[in-house]
Structure 1
Amino acid sequence: MFRADEQRSGDFQVKGPQKKPEIIWRYHADVGASSSPVSSGNLLFSGRFDGLMLALNKMTGEEQWRFVTQAGIFSTPAVAEEQIFFGSDDKNIYALNKFTGSFLWSFETQDKVFASPLVAKDRVFVGSLDHSFYALDRHSGDLKWQIKTGGQVDSSAAFADDKLYFGSDDGLLYAVTIDGEVLWTMDTGAAIDASPVVDQEDDMLYVGNDAGVLFAVDLQTGEPVWLFESGSRMFASPALKNQQIIFAATDGRVFALNKESGEPFWQFDAQATIFSSPAIAGEQIYIGAMDGYLYALDINNGEQKWRLDSGWAIFASPFVDNGVLYISSDDGDLLGLVDPSSPPLL
């Protein structure tokens, strides 16, 4: 799923390529993607700007099936058992059979669906640009409940302890029960595009907004504990590992902060616009930039370990699975990358 887990930590808890990787396969689609690739079993799924949802063999890159929607797909899919869920610019939320791509159901909202669904407790939770956040029955697509916000919802929800956390373009961070009761809201002062990340260990949440401010928020009260001003818009979602919060600003800087105090550990400047969210695998951070490079950074000090030229801008976030790093670029290429010194056991 988007950001590795229900808490949206961005920590894949596996190792990725340590050295500059080799391309084990390349799939070329007609158009690019901002939807991040995700895997389940032997399949890799990717939504495209032309409305295609693709399923590839993750070992070979061979296409297994395709499903056509009526508009572009920016939503990163979520997979639960035999189903795959995603939103489309045609205003619908879709459920397909993940093995065959056959249509199961769709639910129509009133505007585009950029956010990535979250599946929990037999429900599908997702926001829409129609100023609403929805809970749907996973099996039928029936509406369970709907919350209206004061702005578009393209922030993907995080989930922990039967509670959902998401942002809206009204600048509010929402905490909601699984039954649709709003527990609290917090005003961040600017639109929220990024997904929150939940730290269950410390009962905290971290989220950034379009004003470039990262907030640490008490999960129980919704009160801010500290904030960090980056000086540039935060479109990408933060990542969490051990004591560090990792996030990128659109001006190309990547930050690591102490999660307890908000004090910086280190900073890296890619000198290129970043919309891609950081992916953590072991001691390395992977992040794409609009200069076409995929960067690998040491999580301990921010040192660049290597960078790979994909040939085109990278908007989507990387995905890591069993030693393979998957990236999608704006020219239509979807790449499987491995460490040349230690290829994975697939």
Structure 2
Amino acid sequence: MKYDQQIIELKNLLPTAKNILIATSAGADIDKLAAGLALFLTFETAGKQVSIASDDNILVGHTHLFGVDHVQKTLPQTEGGNLTLVLEGVAASDNTVPALEKLDWYAENSNLNLVFHVAPGQTFQPAKIIPKYQGSGFNLIFTVGAVNLNALGNIYSANIQAFSGTHIVNVDTQSANTSFGQTNVLDSQASSVSEVMVNLLSDLGFAMDADTASNLLAGIFEATKDLTDTKVTADTYMAVANCLRVGGRKPQALDTTAPTNSGLDLSALIPKTQAQTVSDFTAPSQPPMDAGDHIQPIQQAAQSSPPIQSGSPEERPMGERVISETVEPEWLTPKIFKGSSIG
């Protein structure tokens, strides 16, 4: 049990905690988001009411993580906390209420009555009355990968009261972490937050399922560059083995090679001159003929033999040269030998 000494109080609080918040640091990478989602899935399986929030947009590169659709950018509305009634337009610039003399309350049947005693000669007329809960109603808040509370971004700055008076569990690997939680699970020697989460879940007595383990594997492989980082230790390999043992799937390697076409590419065998001739050829237009017109046969062409197709350079034997591609007309007429003497 790696973190037993750090989670003694947490072990006592967790069984009765019904409403849990998980907050990841603003701009969380895959490692931190995967660790937070693994914790979310584990608590959800255990029947806890759990929410996960991050002051960041979910990117395409995050969509392979299980449970990523549950990540919210604002805190959910919860029951519990202190109720404050906001009366707008009654306070002065120095934060005093000149028209108000005192405030009383009394119960009547099942109602609670608030009595605002107005000073003589004053008018007390709120422009609007707004009920507001201060405090979160959360029993536990887990922060994942945040060096301090401000690192949570708007999740903290817009909900400071939600973090006030609530037990905070701080999970991180950064050496600069300020130990702001009531429970601090800090391990600067770990390769990733996901590696810490593998051990933390085990120490808390939770069993991982395949989806949780797949998230943690994605976080570990991302943070360690596929286990090539110098921070990888035997504990890292043990965490990977534990995830694989329960059915976790390693992330798919990104294929950066150029796509290749199936089959053979024969374009290199086609002579460029022929390809150019075919692509540039345009059939000439012929003028319309009248019914009385006749095509005059070309006598010389009728007597000539069919044109001899010259082969491509690849088809000619070595050493054979073609003098001319055009056949002279007199070559096709019969030849008569004449001589002065015979014998």
TM-score range relative to shorter protein: under 0.3
* Higher gyration radius (CA): 2
Bigger strand fraction = 1
TM-score w.r.t. length of structure 1? 0.24
